[in-house]
Amino acid sequence: TVLVVDFGAQYAQLIARRVREARVFSEIVPSTMPVAEMLAKEPKAIILSGGPSSVYADGAPSIDRALFEAGVPVFGMCYGFQLMATTLGGTVDNNGAREYGRTDLTVSKPGSTLFEGTPDEQVVWMSHGDACSAAPEGFTVTASTGQVPVAAFEDDERRLYGVQYHPEVMHSTFGQQVLEHFLYRGARIAPTWTAGSIVEEQVALIRERVGSKRAICGLSGGVDSAVAAALVNEAIGSQLTCVYVDHGLMRTGETEQVEKDFVAATGAQLKVVDASERFLNALAGVTDPEEKRKIIGREFIRVFEQAQAEIIADADSDGEDVAFLVQGTLYPDVVESGGGTGTANIKSHHNVGGLPEDLEFELVEPLRQLFKDEVRMVGQELGLPDEIVQRQPFPGPGLGIRIIGEVTRERLDLLRQADAIAREELTAAGLDRDIWQCPVVLLADVRSVGVQGDGRTYGHPVVLRPVSSEDAMTADWSRLPYDVLATISNRITNEVRDINRVTLDVTSKPPGTIEWE
């Protein structure tokens, strides 16, 4: 593994991803972890991330010199670079030589491991207030800028390297190449971490852990649970039972897709529980969004537990314990829950697996080390179809939070028709990869007057909410081509009885959230 030491900026995750793009496994550790503990992980290399502070600021994080003396190759970036410089005896000045954003870097290649094969002048992304004016002893200075005499230094003997800029960001044109030079040439690591190797490693781990016991996995129809289930199925096959709770709030074709495509691709055992009646009864008369979310979450857990109990009872008759619960937890959740400070609860998110604490299962989380795009690669490797692997996000409470007003069967049917048309046209226009998702929202308590044929209509509006986003934390409304919007609008108003108006939501997040409830 390659350790990325996080000095508290938002850059560590990005660095970890870039290392993995170089097909080398990496994990993030906090800068407060003792060096002995870092070394106990037997890292093949260590990367020191950027950070928000000056090395001279009060309480600025530091690093134990022992890290540089353990014979492990180290690469410092930005703040990590300055820490390396000060810790090893170089000079960092607080002289106002600030650089933020695009900066021209001049590279001196003789003796450089990092810059070989890259241009003498290259654009890099800087973000610093202090500047290194003298490299520590034993280092060769290999780059500079107008403001900073020492913008990179290297010591091939001790295999220590540093750059003042951020090679991990896209705007540093040769950043990935420089990072790969560190990994392959400086640290001499072979790029062997691939979707195939992840599957192989996880399958072996899961087999060893589960043994002859049984496992259960909740499927939501989403990418993460599907890939987690497929991976565990690959490992233990008939010892796994997947449970899919149909709460009746899914879109057209979704339940069938799980039933057919997932099973066809994996051969997994699937128990589908049709609980739509129960959810609709529980939601009757409810219009408050948070109340809807809580009801759906609660009913979900009850139905899921009941299904578990049935599977356990069946398994007991074969004499095998159901001891494991499979979950599709991803790496960003793991990293974030490590450093999470109380953020405002905007909406109570509900996920498959929001299970009570007293549940007596051990968790199997085979995706705990992976980012979303890596999960997709693993899904592909396991033969899951694109319809599952490239699926856009869809909220756990489903269409229940896309009907503004009470949720009824009739309203769900209306929304499903409108939603299916929008999805069909977006797919036909080749826009699925350009947008993050496009909720269609039914304003069920609003009526609007229209005219169709020669008659007056008094129907409901729907809202199209196409958004683009990187991580759903922030989003912008997608500028869809007018002709695609026109086709969707024409088709919905013509084909869906009772919907006589289509509107477009042009709000970014913040201030709007992606979903309307």
Please report how close the Cβ of residue 514 comes to ligand XMP at its closest, in angstroms: 3
The Cα 501–Cα 494 span in angstroms is 10
In this structure, the strands spanning 160-163 and 269-274 are unpaired
Nearer to ligand XMP, 209 or 347 (CB): 347
112 CB-near residues (< 8 Å, 6+ apart): 140, 142, 152, 154
222 annotated binding-site participant: yes
The Cα 413–Cα 6 span in angstroms is 49
The Cα 63–Cα 58 span in angstroms is 15
Please report how close the Cβ of residue 134 comes to ligand XMP at its closest, in angstroms: 48
Residues marked as catalytic: 78, 166, 168
The Cα 215–Cα 268 span in angstroms is 12
Q: How far is CA 223 from the centre of its chain?
A: 11
156 annotated binding-site participant: no
Which residue is it, tokens 């000060």? 86
Q: How far is CA 58 from the centre of its chain?
A: 34
DSSP state of 509: B
Please report how close the Cβ of residue 356 comes to ligand XMP at its closest, in angstroms: 17
Contact, 396 vs 349, CB < 8 A?
A: yes
220 annotated binding-site participant: yes
224 annotated binding-site participant: yes
* Gyration radius of the chain's alpha carbons: 27
- The contact set with ligand XMP (CB under 6 A) reads 347, 349-351, 393, 395-397, 437, 472, 509, 513-515
Nearer to ligand XMP, 86 or 351 (CB): 351
Nearer to ligand XMP, 314 or 515 (CB): 515
Nearer to ligand XMP, 284 or 472 (CB): 472
318 annotated binding-site participant: no
Share of the chain residues as helix, strand and coil, in percent rounded to the nearest 5:
35, 20, 40
Please report how close the Cβ of residue 341 comes to ligand XMP at its closest, in angstroms: 19
Nearer to ligand XMP, 46 or 464 (CB): 464
In this structure, the strands spanning 45-48 and 74-77 are parallel
Nearer to ligand XMP, 349 or 456 (CB): 349
Provide the 3-class DSSP secondary structure of residue 72: coil
DSSP, residue by residue, 359-424: ---EEE-TTTT--HHHHHHHHHHTT--HHHHTPPP--TTGGGGTBSS---HHHHHHHHHHHHHHHH
Phi, psi (degrees; rounded to nearest 5) at 78: 55, -110
Please report how close the Cβ of residue 501 comes to ligand XMP at its closest, in angstroms: 23
* Residues annotated within a binding site for ATP: 220-226
- Residues in binding site: 220-226
